[in-house]
């Protein structure tokens, strides 16, 4: 992770609007970015439920039933489990071809839990994962129907809202997504990929100069050449952001061309009709608003003056501390109702047909 880049970005993050304030207006990570860069499902039921708040022996029994092994008590910290416990379990663990279905499902749950707690939805501890997600994995068919992408974005929003304050020294959330988002949209800041994953000439598309075997973010899983950019230097990144202009060489409003969208696997475009839904994003206690009406230029639409909005009042004060065994489906019912009706909350703008002028109403 490029700590300098993350630091400079957080200084421009506004908790009131869930957007980065740049010299030419606002930009942010949206459900579209989550879908295309990660392939996580954004359309589905919210990731929520009852916070189990079990005792350690009860957690051990649940792990034995759902994961196939019982972690030692010293691996637990109340309702969190040390990540090294799963790493030790699966480092040399292999599933035989004739393994019973129950063992296969236990293995899958363990791997998914490790991905959720250690990568997609981490807290600030860096070595512990929340076990509240484990009961959601008991029925894997049910787990597939959940909107994990919106949950990841909700927790990233919350992490950035907390990390934006000067007295905050740690940050959680899926920061890899934030970093790749910057690399996709700001060419002068992003490193060069040493391996461009070139496509055969007979398949070459001028809009897609690379081969893609998964979500778009996968193309950054290569070695980098960083000689032409400054890395890990927050002061340099601040200067770059201060002088950023929205030209195709400095900032890309629409990096996902038709050519790129055409070669993405289906999992990256399922739910594309809700990418501009103005809805709350939910993950148990976390509720954060998705406000695409503030960044319509990211969807090829003219940016009008958005209505005044403040996401930080009240919602940011809600967390799991002191709220054992709460059913968050009931606690956040009003927000879940809006999410369930997400297709009724799609925002639209006029398509961009001309160059934007600084006398436009929004810039004024």
One pLDDT digit (tens) per residue for the chain, 364 residues: 888 999 999 999 999 999 999 999 999 999 999 999 999 999 999 999 998 888 999 999 999 999 999 999 999 998 899 999 999 988 888 888 889 999 999 999 999 999 999 999 998 888 899 999 999 999 999 999 999 999 999 999 999 999 888 888 789 899 999 999 999 999 888 887 765 554 444 455 566 656 677 899 998 887 777 666 666 788 889 999 999 988 878 899 999 998 899 889 999 999 999 999 999 999 999 999 999 999 999 999 999 999 888 887 788 888 887 777 889 999 999 999 999 999 999 999 888 876 666 677 888 8
pLDDT at 53: 80
Query: How far, in Å, CA of 218 to CA of 262, rounded?
Result: 16
CA angle 149, 251, 15 (to 5 degrees): 50
Q: Which residue has the tokens 């998705």?
A: 290
Q: Which residues pair with 81 in a beta bridge?
A: 76, 129
**CA dist., res. 53 & res. 321, Å (int):** 11
Cα→Cα distances 13→25, 128, 187, 240, Å: 12, 27, 20, 16
Q: What distance lies between CA 17 and its chain's CA centroid?
A: 17
pLDDT at 199: 47
Among 216, 201, 195, 193, smallest CA distance to 262 is for 216
> Rounded to an integer, what distance in angstroms lies between the CA atom of residue 282 and that of residue 219?
29
Residue 284 DSSP class:
T
Q: Rounded distance, CA 364 to CA 350, Å?
A: 19
Cα three-residue angle 181-182-185, rounded to 5 degrees: 90
- The helix (H) or strand (E) run that includes residue 115 is helix 101-115
**Residues contacting residue 230 through CB under 8 Å, at least 6 positions apart:** 4, 236, 237
What phi, psi does 361 have (nearest 5°)? -55, -40
According to the model, what pLDDT value does residue 222 have? 78
Q: Are 161 and 93 in contact (CB under 8 A)?
A: no
CB crowding 186-222: b at 16 or more within 10 Å, else e: bbebbbebeeeeeeeeeeeeeebebebeebbbebbee
């Amino acid at each position: 992770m490029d700590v300098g880049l993350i630091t400079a970005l957080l200084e421009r993050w506004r908790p009131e609007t869930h957007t980065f304030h740049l010299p030419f207006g606002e930009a942010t990570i949206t459900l579209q970015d989550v879908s295309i860069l990660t392939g996580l499902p954004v359309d589905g039921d919210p990731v929520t439920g009852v916070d189990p708040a079990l005792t350690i022996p009860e957690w051990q029994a649940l792990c034995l039933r759902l994961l196939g092994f019982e972690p030692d008590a010293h691996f637990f910290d109340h309702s969190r489990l040390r990540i090294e416990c799963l790493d030790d379990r699966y480092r040399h663990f292999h599933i035989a071809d004739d393994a019973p279905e129950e063992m296969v499902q236990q293995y899958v749950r363990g791997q998914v839990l490790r991905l959720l707690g250690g990568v997609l939805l981490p807290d600030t501890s860096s070595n512990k994962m929340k076990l509240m997600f484990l009961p959601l994995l008991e029925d894997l068919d049910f787990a597939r129907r959940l909107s994990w992408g919106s949950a990841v974005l909700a927790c990233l929003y919350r992490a950035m809202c907390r990390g934006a304050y000067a007295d905050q020294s740690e940050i959680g959330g899926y920061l890899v997504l934030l970093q790749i988002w910057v690399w996709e949209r700001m060419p002068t800041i992003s490193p060069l990929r040493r391996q461009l994953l070139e496509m055969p000439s007979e398949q070459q598309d001028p809009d897609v100069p690379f081969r893609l075997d998964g979500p778009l973010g996968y193309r950054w899983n290569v070695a980098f050449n960083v000689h032409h950019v400054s890395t890990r230097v927050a002061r340099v990144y601040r200067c770059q952001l201060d002088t950023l202009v929205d030209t195709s060489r400095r900032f890309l409003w629409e990096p996902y061309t038709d050519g790129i969208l055409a070669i993405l696997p289906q999992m990256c475009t399922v739910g594309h009709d809700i990418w501009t839904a103005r809805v709350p994003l939910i993950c148990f206690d976390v509720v954060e608003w998705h406000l695409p009406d503030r960044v319509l230029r990211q969807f090829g639409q003219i940016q009008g003056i958005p209505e005044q909005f403040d996401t930080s009042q009240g919602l940011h004060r809600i967390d799991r501390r002191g709220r054992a065994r709460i059913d968050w489906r009931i606690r956040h019912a009003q927000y879940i109702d809006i999410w369930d009706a997400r297709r009724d909350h799609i925002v639209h703008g006029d398509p961009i047909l001309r160059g934007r002028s600084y006398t436009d109403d929004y810039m004024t």
